Amino acid sequence: MTTTLRQVLARPWFPAQYGKAPYFWLLSLGYLLWKYAYVPPGPLEVALLLLTLVVFFAVYCASYWLHGRQVLACVGAACLLGVLWVHWNPGAASLFIFACAMCCRIGGTKRPLAAILAVLAIGAAASFLSPAMQMVFLTPLLMAGLPVGLSCIMDERLRSSRAALMRKQEEVEHMARIAERERISRDLHDLLGHSLSTIALKAELARKLARRDLDACEREIADIETNAREALAEVRAAVTGFRQSGLVQALASARANLLAADIALDERVERVALAPATEHVVALAVREAVTNIVRHAQASRCTLSLERAHGHVVLRVLDDGCLRSLEELRHGNGLAGMRERVTALGGRLSLQAGAGLALELHVPAGAAP
């Protein structure tokens, strides 16, 4: 029992994906308190008001964790609090507006809108409990209730679409890793199976010839040496190919993710030979930049270019998203890690904001293997 209580108390009030917005919306309760700026409340009313705020905050928090028909209980509780207060405080309209916002998590297409209309109808009926302040109560409810409810529905759908997109992105990357592992397994089997079989046969033949024909034995041993060196060279070439596939895979994943997010891609990528360390940094930069565009930029077009100039490889990623200044940019672990990797290679990373974000990366191309 104690462990369960600790878990409940340790859990955050709101899901992480909503950020600080739920706290910001609580400022709307100021309309409920506006009356007391010119009418001092009595002790009983203060006590009831504090109890109402505590109960409403619990209902408000619960509405973010519940989904489907369970949210209807939170909507009903908010409406009940509004009905109980409408006779004494026209600011109770804010409680009905919150109830409209909660309807977005009911799920489905028509049910949230039907619930919002039901909340507005209940609020309109409750306004007759306070005829003297009826218009003061109805005006904010009817002007804000439906727009707030509709905007919350659209925001919830957008969050669901982004979550589905992230799941698809993870599936694409997972399938790409599986395909790469299978390709490596096939190539190594074909490569080493033939070479090692030849070496084993020639070694066996050399052992048999050692006592009868030393010249023939030496020729077989020379062939074994030649075959071993050729196998080693082929393995190195194969490993180089696996390393170089990192950038190819990153570009393919970027195309798939942008296509899934309905973001047009203008790709201008030159074929350049890169050192493995440089290719690794560029591939990770492509992944991070495209992931940020898909998750946060709200862009409709992305331009991605890669070229070699004066011994450096230059990567540019631009979007036409909502970012207007670098102060709005969240410098998370992704950008910090990218900057550290670029700096470690002796390169530089620059960011510019305007009509979206422009990322430009310069790193030494290095000697291609």
Q: If residue 174 lies in a helix (H) or strand (E), which one and from where to where?
A: helix 134-209
The SS3 of residue 320 is coil
Domain layout of the chain by residue ranges: 2-163, 245-364
Of 80, 38, 40, the residue nearest 56 (C-alpha): 80
At the second CATH level, the architecture of 245-364 is 2-Layer Sandwich (3.30)
Over residues 47-89, the pLDDT tens digits come to 998 999 999 999 999 888 888 888 899 999 999 999 998 888 8
> 35: alpha, beta or left, given left = phi > 0 and alpha = psi -120 to 50?
alpha
For residue 148 the two structure tokens come to: 């707030």
Beta strand pairing call for 264-269 and 301-309: parallel
Asked if 264 and 302 touch (Cβ cutoff 8 Å), the reply is yes
Asked if 86 and 126 touch (Cβ cutoff 8 Å), the reply is yes
CA atoms within 13 A on the CB side of 111: 14
pLDDT at position 244: 47
Enter the DSSP assignment of 26. Answer: G
Asked if 113 and 120 touch (Cβ cutoff 8 Å), the reply is no
Rounded to the nearest 5°, which phi and psi values hold at 357?
-120, 135
Q: Tally DSSP H helices, then E strands, for the chain.
A: 11, 5
Asked if 304 and 269 touch (Cβ cutoff 8 Å), the reply is yes
Q: What is the pTM of this model?
A: 0.54
The one-letter amino acid code at 141 reads L
Q: What is the mean pLDDT of residues 325-351?
A: 78
Confidence at 183, pLDDT banded by 50, 70, 90: low
E strands present in the chain: 264-269, 301-309, 312-319, 348-354, 356-364
Measured between alpha carbons, how far is 84 from 119 in angstroms, rounded to an integer? 15
Measured between alpha carbons, how far is 323 from 339 in angstroms, rounded to an integer? 20
In terms of pLDDT, which residue wins out, 148 or 187? 148
In terms of pLDDT, which residue wins out, 195 or 1? 195
